[in-house]
A = this chain, B = another copy of it.
Amino acid sequence: MEYSEKQVQIMEKAEKLFAEKGFDGTSVRDISEAADVNVAMISYYFGSKEKLMEAMFHHRGQDLRIQLENIIHNKGLTSLQKVEKLIDDYTERIFKKQFFHKIMIREQMVNNAGPIAKQIFLLKQTNQVLINQLISEGQKKGDFKKNIDVSLLMMTLVGTTSQLVTAQHFYKEIHQLQALSDEEFEKLIRKKLSHYLKVLFKAILVYEG
């Protein structure tokens, strides 16, 4: 199923507003105003505000899955290089889709059984299975040490990135970087984060404590 130009326009404006003010903090009139359409168009195109959110998850759902298969099956890379590529891919993906990522963070806090919670769960599960593969491969080769808690490692990847994305204005202020433009600042923290996570993962995966 594809979405028309108008539908995408509404979804993208809604995405920004949901990220900033939350689902319940955003009214359909806020969305219609931002998307420059009549209020009724949201019901007309999506059925309801709730279903607009679901459509958004469907629309973005494709982009979410880390392209891990490509990384895992790339014969030219060492296990550690694969992990480093995973970090680059993941952080880039999150920063590019930060509005949607913020919405996901909010939604995963709500422990319900709706279709959105299901989609988030499936995504997490799939990523976990693939990262499990990647780590065990490195362990078999002797590149990584044993006793790695992959779940917690994932939480560090996801959590550290989320923390930087959601609290970036705090980071900006604490480090006195207000002079930087948004683009410069984002470029800076992305680079710092990526480098930091690579050092961190290497330390965890290969350091014999």
CB within 8 Å of B: which residues of A?
Answer: 19-25, 102, 105-106, 108-111, 120-121, 124-125, 128, 149, 151-152, 155-156, 158-164, 166-167, 169-171, 173-175, 192-193, 196, 199-200, 202-204, 207, 209
Contacts and interface: CB of A to CB of B under 8 A. Distances in A.
Give 5 nearest A-B pairs by CB, closest first.
A159-B159, A159-B163, A24-B24, A203-B203, A155-B163
B124 A170 contact: yes
B106 A22 contact: yes
Contacts of A124: 167, 170, 174
B200 A200 contact: yes
A209 B202 contact: yes
B110 A21 contact: yes
Contacts of A200: 156, 200, 203-204
B22 A111 contact: no
B166 A108 contact: yes
Contacts of A158: 159, 163
